[in-house]
Amino acid sequence: MARMTALLGISHGTADAAGQHAVAALVAGVTTALPDTVVRLGHVDVQQPDVAAALSALTAEPVTLVPLLLSAGYHVHVDLRRAIAHRADVTITAALGPDDRLVDVLVARLVEAGYRDGADAEIILAVAGSSDERANEDCRETARLLAGRLGRPVRIAFLAAAEPRVREAVARASAGGHRVFVATYLLAPGYFHDLAVREAPGAIVARPLLDADPPAAALVDLVVARFRSTA
């Protein structure tokens, strides 16, 4: 009989307690959606277990590693592939984004923050930013998908590592006297969401994709779909 494949979700990791709780709630939702699958959580940085420790705890079954990351940059292309080099029974899926299900949640967060179709508003997609241009391009694709969904332009802005920065983008968008909404393309609360709020004076900053409320079904479905794409 073939062994069941385990799902190992790997997040970036955060020192923020609210962020830790939000990511853990997502993994709990995935566990509920896959009752016959071993589901575990590990982290690239900051938190434990790290990738090596998480993998060492899963030796009785093959593993599908799902990066709980919104884009595929250095962590996905280098760090995670290096971490599994000694395990022929481990497969890595694509990162979570870009994906229409993430756009579903971004739109829901904007509506929750007060955005309405046809409103006289400017939309900015705030992303963490990366030194790996592949990750930045993934985020630009998400901005294009969001613009298509909203039927209006969406400016992308970065919190670190790339240009334009969020503060500059907000200043430009505010110059015309319009309301400015910042959709935060961030998985969970923490340093970068706090930075987005500070760097967007006068703008309405939406909540991250995960927060204190239960994770959106679209996010759980996305992780499950990534797992099933290889498992």
State pLDDT tens for residues 27-71: 999 999 999 999 999 999 999 999 999 999 999 899 999 999 999
Q: Say how far residue 32 (Cα) sits from the centre of its chain.
A: 20
1: pLDDT strictly greater than 60: no
pTM of the entire structure?
0.95
Judged on CB neighbours under 10 Å (0-12, 13-18, 19+), 53 is exposed
Helix, strand, coil share of the chain (percent; to 5)? 40, 20, 40
φ/ψ region of 47 (left if φ > 0, alpha if ψ in -120 to 50, else beta) reads: beta
Asked if residue 227 lies in contact with residue 93, where contact means CB atoms within 8 angstroms, the answer is yes
d(CA 136, CA 47): 24
Cβ–Cβ under 8 Å, residues 58 and 40: yes
Q: Residue 192: which pLDDT band, with cuts at 50, 70 and 90?
A: very high
User: Within 13 A of 210's CA, how many CA atoms are on the CB side?
Assistant: 25
The DSSP code sequence of 110-160 is HHHTT--TT-SEEEEEEE---SSHHHHHHHHHHHHHHHHHHTS-EEEEESS
Q: pLDDT tens, 209-231?
A: 999 999 999 999 999 999 999 86
User: What is the rounded distance in angstroms from the CA atom of residue 210 to the CA atom of residue 212?
Assistant: 7
Which domains occur in the chain, in start order?
Answer: 6-97+213-230 (3.40.50.1400), 100-205 (3.40.50.1400)
pLDDT at residue 125 tops 90: yes
Task: Please state, in angstroms and as integers, the Cα–Cα distance from residue 77 to each residue in 36, 111, 132, 133, 168, following that order.
Answer: 29, 34, 10, 12, 30
